Amino acid sequence: MQGPSHLFSFPIDFSAPDVAAVICRKVGAIWFDSARPAHPQNRYSYILVPSKNPASGSELKKMDGLPPFQGGWAGYWGYDLARDLEKIPDLHENKDQLPDKYVNYYSSLFAFDHRLGKGWYITRAATLLEAQAEFDKIAQEILSSKNGDLYLPPRINWQSNFSQTEYKSSVKNIIEHILAGDIFQANLSRRIEGDVPVDFDPLQHYLHLRQVNPAPYAAYINAGEFQVLSSSPESFLSLSEDGVLVTRPIKGTSPEVVEKDFPDSEKDHAENIMIVDLMRNDLSKICEDQSVEVTSLCHAEIFEGLVHLVSEIKGKLRGGISAEQALMACFPGGSITGAPKIESMKIIEQQEHARRGPYCGAIGWISDFGSMETNIAIRTLICKGNKIWFNVGGGITALSDPLLEYEETNIKAKAILGSFAQ
């Protein structure tokens, strides 16, 4: 049977949080949330309505003047997908029982252009009458919703799966690998976990988290049995409809003071430049010859409580390579593995105490029209049942000080921990 074949849009005056408070209660809903207004990449947000209709083969015409995502595939690609991609040994039990990949098709969504201050409901339907009826029904749901009570975040008894001594020991082990010439750098993370009260509401907590730790590549996924609450500052891969592929790796972290503190940090700059070289190599495998270029090297960007060093690499994707093929060719991001990538991942597997799951994978969307936007899933909480957890990590180089590396993970954990009662 022929499926819906046209795109329709309706202007809205709802705010993204008001829409999310209703739509994100539905299993399968996703919120791609550009939540940090001052950030230069902070333009579009999307709230995806779970779709009853899978993609059909009908030809769609993109609507001009609207945000680039107007329907397509979205979700997360977990770090552990890389085991099959790169033949990485699996040394840890899959105790969380989360899918390595959670991606669904979406034909209806709310889209927001923060630069223009406008929003739309976009849907795929057979006729305008059908689209209007769908919009009226969902708009009424939002209008009828009542603001909840004031949210009071719970106090969690957090536990780390690394003690300070164990983490420092693993840092030393990685440094030994570097000095032996096995790798140049590896990213080491530890997991922080706890139990939530029976009445814990992941969506209410995300609405709170996005206020205390706003991030340009934030996201909320309601997968039903579990929820993903991401306040990621880092873009992984974006792809424009005309085939320009961009990656913006973050490497180098300092408490938010002044941006000029970074030039004196030899370790942070070395870390970033090594990952730039790795990502240039990844892009060169799928981009046109001589099209890959570093368009920005080691510039400082301010986030909530932190300053990061960010670089930008661009290339022109070769014809015949799909967005998801490009994603997998560069997966996982070099900023959260190390260099060389495969050997670093094998060492990570030896040193870390658990699977990473969605952490350090990618959260994002692939449009019906070929464009793509994905983040690196760092600063990301996972909630399943009465359990909640997140990981924090950092890049280890020959210049690393084990104690300072442990303290850097505490700095990165601060924003997420600060979203809970102390």
**163 occurs within a structural domain:** yes
**CATH code: domain of residue 140:** 3.60.120.10
**422 occurs within a structural domain:** no
- Total domains, the chain: 1
Tell me the helix, strand and coil percentages in the chain, rounded to 5.
30, 35, 40
Q: What is the pLDDT of residue 270?
A: 79
Q: What is the pLDDT of residue 259?
A: 47
**138 occurs within a structural domain:** yes
Residue numbers in the chain where pLDDT is lower than 50: 1, 258-260
Q: What is the pLDDT of residue 55?
A: 54
Is position 234 annotated as part of the catalytic site?
yes
From 234, 301, 352, 373, active-site residue? 234
pTM for this one? Answer: 0.94
Q: Which two tokens stand for residue 184?
A: 């140049």
Question: How many angstroms separate the first and last alpha carbons of the chain?
Answer: 56
Asked if 46 contacts 31 with a C-beta cutoff of 8 angstroms, the reply is yes
Q: Which two tokens stand for residue 295?
A: 């368009």
Q: Which two tokens stand for residue 21?
A: 């408070």
Q: What is the pLDDT of residue 268?
A: 77
Cα(376)–Cα(97) distance, integer angstroms: 21
- Tens of pLDDT along 88-110? 888 898 999 999 999 999 999 99
Is position 62 annotated as part of the catalytic site?
no
**66 occurs within a structural domain:** yes
From 134, 166, 168, 251, active-site residue? 251
Asked if 356 contacts 187 with a C-beta cutoff of 8 angstroms, the reply is no
Residue 394 burial (10 A CB sphere; 0-12, 13-18, 19+):
buried
Residue 271, Cβ neighbours under 10 Å: how many?
A: 30
**343 occurs within a structural domain:** yes
Q: What is the dihedral of CA 124, 52, 24, 304, to 10 degrees?
A: -60
- Tens of pLDDT along 311-333? 999 999 999 999 999 999 999 99
Residue 147 burial (10 A CB sphere; 0-12, 13-18, 19+):
exposed
**285 occurs within a structural domain:** yes
The boundaries of the domain holding residue 268 are 6-417
Q: What is the pLDDT of residue 257?
A: 54
**1 occurs within a structural domain:** no
Q: What is the pLDDT of residue 417?
A: 97
